[in-house]
Structure 1
Amino acid sequence: MFDIDSPFTMVVAIVLIAVGAGVIQNWIKLKHNQESAGSAEDVDALKREVRDLRERVRTLEKIVTDPDERLSRELRDL
């Protein structure tokens, strides 16, 4: 039924080899990306930095959107 010399068997073998190679390639890329993703400490440091930057943006938005009188009063108070 499945003779090694038949064209159908060769096509199936080629497809299986191609799909298998794609799966292996994706697995290798995934492992590489996981290794280069960084440690939990790096992630925590980035989260702290984002939180600090958001606070700075809030302060700048407050300064930009406040009326001139209040802004100049707060600057004098500093």
Structure 2
Amino acid sequence: MDPFQMVVIIVLISVGAGVMKNYFKMKQNQQADAASEKDVVRLRADIDRLKERVHVLEKIVTDNDRQLAEDIRKLA
């Protein structure tokens, strides 16, 4: 084997190893992104649910009948 072939083989091995390393890193990042996406979807659902609860509580607090009942209770 002459030196030129040896250099070419070493370069090919180095480039191939770099490509494989990047491929495996990309696969790992995709799995992490999928898990993160599930968390984002779950958190958005929680936020929507909490917004609905706050809306209901705001309705209860600003309800005129509740205010009237509170005024009657204060008079008693």
Bigger Rg over Cα: 2
TM-score of the two chains, using structure 2 as the length reference: 0.49
TM-score of the two chains, using structure 1 as the length reference: 0.48
